[in-house]
Amino acid sequence: MTPTDRGLYLDGVGIALAGRQLLEVTRRVDPGEVLTVMGPSGSGKSSLLAYIGGFLDPAFKARGRVIADGLELTSLPAEDRHAGILFQDPLLFPHMSVSGNLLFAIPPAIKGKQKRDELAREALAGVGLSDFDDRDPDTLSGGQKARIALARVLLSQPRTLLLDEPFSKLDQDRRDQMRQLVFSKARELGLPAILVTHDQADADAAGGPVIRIGEDNTQ
Amino acid sequence: MNGNGATASPIETKSSGAVLPRIGPPLAIALLTLPILAGLAGTVLPALGYLPALDGTELTLRHFTDVLHRPGIIRSSVISMVTGVATAAISLAVVMAFVAGWSGTRAFARVQHLVSPLLSVPHAAAAFGLAFLIAPSGMIARILSPGITGWTRPPDILIVSDPLGLTMMAGLITKEIPFLLLVTLAALPQLRVAETRMLTAALGYGRIAGFMFALWPLVYRQIRLAVFAVIAFASSVVDVAAILGPSTPAPLAVRLVEWMNDPDLSMRYIASAGAMLQLGVTAMALAIWIALERVGAAIAQLLCHAGLRFRRDRITAWIALAMITSAALAIFAGLAILVIWSVAGLWQFPDALPSDFTLRNWMRALPRIADPLWTTLVVATLSAAIATVLSILCLVREGETRQSGNSRSLMVLYVPLLVPQAAFLFGLQLLFIGSGTDASLGALVLAHLIFVMPYVFLSLSDPWRAYDRRYEAVSAGLGRRRWATLFRVRLPMLLRSVMTAAAVGFAVSVGQYLPTLLIGSGRLTTITTEAVALASGGNRRVIGIYAFLQMVLPLAGFVIATMVPALLFRNRRAMQV
């Protein structure tokens, strides 16, 4: 691997459950590109993200390497992978304020309260929610929570974005808005992203390559 | 907070886990088994005549024959054994009929709220309350006299300390009902109660029969160890038996403690041999229970296969409701009477209330309360804190390995609750005396920890396991270290459950009688040992004070466990109950 190998590379990644091969992927995802993985529920598409993120249930048997910007993620513990994940639910930490959630995500290497506060404020503005700093996450609407979750994951300076059906629980209008926001941010920041979904509209909006699993057991 | 099944259980695979959580499970297993094994050994050897401190070096079975020749020993043993089986049978029957007849109704929820707090009331306090309620000079007699009964003096009948031990059983039953109800409630969410009710109703089964045939076997499987614990406890309890039980002769465990505390040190051989007899009595009670289980299952199967519908079950359901409610109300009333006695001035029979109230009882008792109160607080706080930390370590480790809740680890948790306390505490006391650490704070905390740990773990494990682990995945994805995730995300989110578990541990410690009595060697005393020691004296005002403190301390623990998270997260809606 050389420094020019920017992006995410899935090298012979295979996941099996109870002896059944769920998926088999070798793919490159370029910076800013969104690879969509489609499949019915139970096809194991979420387990691909769990494997990349480093929190796959040991019931699954997985092999293969995941390389981000030349760095092999699969040899690192989850917290060193910087694989930012967005789930169906925003999963904002309910005991922290909105800005608490954001400050928690900013890497500790960035020092100085002022600087960190400033970053958090910028991130809020970036998702159109300025002045939401002190709000209790539970008082936000579903769409607002989703945007805070996006701002949070981007602040952590991820190497890649893992999107686990993050739009499926939003209503129709918000869903389109949120898709645009997520994909434009990924492009803007040059983040390779993997989107797992069973909604064809998600795949269309992502505009990237699509692989299907669970239909003939492999891609 | 709950996500879909596919993503709700992500887990670390790469890093093998920090060191500290790894020592959690072995430490917990050691804590729950080693003192018991060592204690058992320390009891068996003197029972066989080996006690070098008293120049006993030769092995003999003489002490066993001595014990069996003590006057009334058979009767003491039978009372203990019957108490164990009967307490479990009656409390379980009431809980079973109540849950079967009422689950899903509004009455069910109300009774649940009424009964739950009673779990934290120490046995001794509940026993005193009951005694003050039903004794010949107790509240009920006072209310009925002289109008209905015509009594102007307390009648000379033996209600408390009746020779058959019925009052003792009643006292135990009122305390075991809340326990069995709560473990049953914990088992229910994993079953489809509402759907099964509809299904069995559609087939024409009565509410109780439908529940009993379709769900009870599944429930019982999960609460079986708890029922065993009730049998073991009731067949070997000391404090409740000393307060409510018969005295001619007393139940076996009470006599054991008397022998143990006999100034004649050679009585220790007999006490140790008696403790082995106690082990046999409890084992026998459990064996009888297991036989009853078989018979019960066979009868249930017969009725089930006969297709009997039992549709007229309302009377049974109402009886169960009446029993469970009156058991709860009896404890509440008893506690109220304790409070009244603690501030009572002159209170003549048959007046329903004292003629004046005074704080003089308190003023007089306070100087003597300070030391035991301080010991109670320190030991309860330390043992609850240690048990909570240890439980968290075990649960963190369980999350890392994904090996959880198997029947063997559950069995280990229940060991201290299944072995009669006297059988290993006698030996443990000898070990502590031998090493010069008896009556030290550390030894007392350790002894309490053995009993506190199971309850803390059982209380914390359900909410801990129900936690949506995707939050941890998010945190790790944000680049946060494992410890940061634990301390800044999971523990704060579970703060209420953690503090409740600690409060449970605190309450268990406050209520400990025999471990405190033996390991404290009479020099370190707590509110509970002092209260039970007062039982024979019969000074109701002083007993009222001690028993009041006994119930207030656990209550204070639960209030703190509720208030702290509520205050800390007062601006976080999702963190409210």
Q: What is the residue-level pLDDT of chain A in tens, covering all 219 positions?
A: 444 478 899 999 999 988 888 888 899 999 989 999 998 877 888 899 999 999 888 889 999 999 998 889 998 998 899 999 999 999 999 999 999 999 999 999 999 999 999 999 999 998 889 889 889 999 999 889 999 999 999 999 999 999 999 998 888 888 888 999 999 989 999 999 999 998 888 888 888 899 988 765 444
Distance from C-alpha of B417 to C-alpha of B420, rounded to nearest angstrom: 8
pTM: 0.87
CB B287 within 8 A of CB B281: no
Nearest alpha-carbon partner for A53 in A194, A180, A177: A194
Q: Is B13 on the interface with A (CB under 8 A)?
A: yes
Contact B12 A78 (CB under 8 A): yes
Contact B10 A138 (CB under 8 A): no
Residue identified by tokens 């107790």 is B138
B338, two tokens: 């304790």
Amino acid identity of residue B418, one-letter, is: L
CATH code where residue A56 lies = 3.40.50.300
Q: Is A162 on the interface with B (CB under 8 A)?
A: yes
Peptide bond into B154 cis (omega under 30): no
Output the tens digit of pLDDT for each of chain B's 577 residues.
333 333 333 344 444 456 788 888 888 888 888 999 999 998 988 888 888 878 778 888 888 888 898 899 999 999 999 999 999 999 999 999 999 989 888 888 899 888 888 888 999 999 999 999 988 888 888 888 888 888 888 888 888 888 899 999 999 999 999 999 999 988 888 888 888 888 888 888 888 888 988 899 999 998 999 999 999 999 999 999 999 999 889 999 999 999 988 888 888 889 999 999 999 999 999 999 999 999 999 998 888 888 888 888 889 889 999 999 999 999 999 999 999 999 988 888 888 889 889 898 898 888 999 999 999 999 999 999 999 999 999 898 888 777 665 667 778 888 999 999 989 999 898 888 888 888 889 999 999 999 999 999 989 988 998 899 999 999 999 999 988 999 999 999 999 999 999 999 999 999 999 999 999 988 899 999 999 988 878 788 899 999 999 989 999 999 999 899 999 998 888 887 7
What range defines the domain where residue A73 resides?
8-94+158-212
Q: Is B10 on the interface with A (CB under 8 A)?
A: yes
Residue A218 has φ and ψ, to the nearest 5°, of: -130, -175
Q: Is B577 on the interface with A (CB under 8 A)?
A: no
Work out the burial of residue B169: count CB atoms within 10 Å of its CB; fewer than 13 is exposed, 13-18 middle, 19 or more buried.
buried
Q: Is B309 on the interface with A (CB under 8 A)?
A: no
Residues 6+ apart with CB under 8 A from B74: none
Residue identified by tokens 């008696």 is B274
Distance from C-alpha of A57 to C-alpha of B22, rounded to nearest angstrom: 19
What are the chain B neighbours of A77 within 8 Å (beta carbons)?
12, 14-15, 476, 482
Going along chain B from its start, the domains and CATH numbers come out as 16-39+359-577 (1.10.3720.10), 61-356 (1.10.3720.10)
CB nearest to B14's CB, from A78, A104, A162: A78
CB nearest to B571's CB, from A59, A78, A136: A136
Q: Is B481 on the interface with A (CB under 8 A)?
A: yes
Residue identified by tokens 């019931």 is A59
Residue A193 domain flag:
yes
Residue A62 has φ and ψ, to the nearest 5°, of: -130, 150
Distance from C-alpha of B533 to C-alpha of B546, rounded to nearest angstrom: 11
Q: How many CA atoms lie within 13 A of A202 on its CB side?
A: 25
What are the chain B neighbours of A133 within 8 Å (beta carbons)?
none
CB nearest to A55's CB, from B12, B571, B572: B12
Residue identified by tokens 């471990």 is B515
CB B476 within 8 A of CB A54: yes
Angle between helices B123-134 and B527-534 (to 10 degrees): 30
Q: Is B162 on the interface with A (CB under 8 A)?
A: no
CB B58 within 8 A of CB B427: no
Q: Is B494 on the interface with A (CB under 8 A)?
A: no
What are the tens digits of pLDDT across the range A14-26?
999 888 888 888 9
Distance from C-alpha of B550 to C-alpha of B207, rounded to nearest angstrom: 40
Distance (Å) from the alpha carbon of B135 to chain A's nearest alpha carbon? 51
* Tally of domains within chain A: 1
A96, two tokens: 């922290």
